[in-house]
Amino acid sequence: MAPNPPDARSAPGNPWRSSMTRMELGFGLPLAGAWATPEALVTVARRAEALGYHAAWTFQRLFYPVAPREEYYGAPGGPWPAAFASVMDPLAVLAFVAASTRTIRLGVSVLIMPLYQPIVLAKHLATLDVLSGGRLDVGLGLGWSSDEWEAAGTSMERRGARADEFLRALKAVWTEDPVEFTGEFYRIPRGSVAPRPVQRPHPPLLLGGYHPSVLRRAATLCDGYTGGNIPLAELTATVARVRDAAVAAGRDPARFPIVCRGSYNLTAEPLGAPRRSLWGSAAQIREDLGRYAEAGVTQIFLEPNFQPGGAQLDRVLSQMEALAP
């Protein structure tokens, strides 16, 4: 992604560079837990923009089941993170933040496709792209919680085929006028859908997940890949699989973004081994960021929402200063 995205009002094309030679650094917005307030959102977004962070990111959680059927994939063996009990809607958050910023890109990693109809999500995202002046990056995924699918009234059957068709329908809404789409799962009668996104042909689409079918889908139907908290020990293999999928689909891997969430914990003193990636002193975290860049990640965004003891605004602002690009 471009280090200094153009003002989309004058340059509405795809903001990504023809080649990506350094890793960009983004930052997560306060949308989960007690620190998620309107004031904190504006403060963090403006501070991230002033410090030169490339993008401000959100995530999605619809539902907090009392007895979840699936473990949280990022921390197996335990309960879901407490912050998941209260999570703001990511698109509403980005629309709110768009009005208080000018240049920082605005991303979500990821929206859960089964919670939407393609035409409804296309309208939401196009509106947000217009309101932000063309600064939107869209991560999409299937999700991993069957409780959320059930709460939304969505079937889990043939979810891979549904995802393929969802992506085709979503892009048809943005690129065809009038649009008409007839598939196995979704149908859009002939008509026009406006407004259109500022970015052409549509906001960048990143796909999240780890199954080989996800990588195939990212390479054939999307513009890049997004992963969450990929351990450094697994990163090289993951990047290689993403790049192989891009090559197999006839895509240039040098122009195929790989975006990663990085939950971090900044400590006053260095931590000894063994140490979790992005946990430790500022010097240790910067060293880890360098290893992510060397592995081929094109953007990592630091995620403050899941810090031990809960995120606190003053502490996070200090951390943003210490880790700024």
User: Per-residue pLDDT for 314 more than 50?
Assistant: yes
Tokens for 294, please give them.
């060397």
Name which residue leads in pLDDT, 69 or 48. Answer: 48
207 falls within a domain: yes
User: Per-residue pLDDT for 8 more than 50?
Assistant: no
pLDDT of the residue at 75:
63
User: Per-residue pLDDT for 318 more than 70?
Assistant: yes
pLDDT of the residue at 72:
84
Q: How far apart are CA 273 and CA 164, in angstroms?
A: 43
User: The domain spanning residue 301 has which CATH number?
Assistant: 3.20.20.30
Give the mean model confidence (pLDDT) for residues 284-304. 97
pLDDT classification of 19: cutoffs 50, 70, 90: very low
pLDDT classification of 81: cutoffs 50, 70, 90: confident
User: Per-residue pLDDT for 179 more than 60?
Assistant: yes
State the DSSP H helix or E strand holding residue 179, giving kind and residue range, or none if neither. strand 179-182
* Number of domains forming the structure of the chain: 1
Sign of the dihedral defined by the CA atoms of residues 306, 309, 314, 318, in that order: negative
Task: Name which of 27-31, 64-68, 77-81 the model is least confident about.
Answer: 77-81
180 falls within a domain: yes
Tokens for 166, please give them.
């969802």
pLDDT classification of 21: cutoffs 50, 70, 90: low
Q: Cα torsion for 152, 158, 163, 169, to the nearest 10°?
A: -90
273 falls within a domain: yes
8 falls within a domain: no
User: Per-residue pLDDT for 14 more than 70?
Assistant: no
Q: How far apart are CA 198 and CA 45, in angstroms?
A: 21
User: Per-residue pLDDT for 296 more than 50?
Assistant: yes
pLDDT classification of 76: cutoffs 50, 70, 90: low
Domain range enclosing 199? 24-323
Closest by CA to 228, choosing from 205, 259, 253, is 259
Q: How far apart are CA 137 and CA 64, in angstroms?
A: 26
Name which residue leads in pLDDT, 162 or 231. Answer: 162
pLDDT digits (tens, 9 = 90+) for 204-215: 999 999 899 999
164 falls within a domain: yes
Tokens for 149, please give them.
């699918």
12 falls within a domain: no
Judge contact between 29 and 93, C-beta under 8 A. Answer: yes
Q: How far apart are CA 286 and CA 278, in angstroms?
A: 8
Give the mean model confidence (pLDDT) for residues 2-9. 36
16 falls within a domain: no
Name which residue leads in pLDDT, 178 or 17. Answer: 178
User: Per-residue pLDDT for 80 more than 90?
Assistant: no
48 falls within a domain: yes
What residue type is 21 in one-letter code?
T
Judge contact between 265 and 307, C-beta under 8 A. Answer: yes
pLDDT classification of 22: cutoffs 50, 70, 90: confident
Closest by CA to 233, choosing from 269, 263, 286, 274, is 274
pLDDT classification of 74: cutoffs 50, 70, 90: low
Q: How far apart are CA 207 and CA 158, in angstroms?
A: 18
User: Per-residue pLDDT for 131 more than 90?
Assistant: yes
pTM: 0.92
In angstroms, how far is the first alpha carbon of the chain from the final one? 15
Q: How far apart are CA 34 and CA 70, in angstroms?
A: 24
